Amino acid sequence: MEDMQKITVSVETNMVSKRARAKVEKKVTVKEESSSMDQLLKKVEQMLERVKLDKPEPQVRNPNFRGQQ
């Protein structure tokens, strides 16, 4: 009976520590994702700024275009 209790306690301890580790790993993963999302957002903002700062190219009319006849 005493051996069964020891086994039960050790299994319970292992399960608790495993859950704690999984919880910590999950928190780390979420933090990494948010930092990568922040980096992506900054890159998109930089791209938008470049697009806004660039001057639009003037339209070149095609001399061979003959509209509707």
pLDDT at 38: 82
Q: State the DSSP string of 1-44.
A: -HHHHHHHHHHHHHHHHHHHHHHHHHHHHHHHHHHHHHHHHHHH
Positive or negative torsion for Cα 24, 28, 29, 31: positive
Neighbour-count burial for 15-43, b at 16+ CB within 10 Å, e otherwise: eeeeeeeeeeeeeeeeeeeeeeeeeeeee
The per-residue pLDDT for 64 is 79
Predicted confidence at residue 37, as pLDDT, reads: 77
- What does the pLDDT read at residue 69? 59
Mean pLDDT by 10 residues, the chain (69 residues): 87 90 77 74 86 69 72
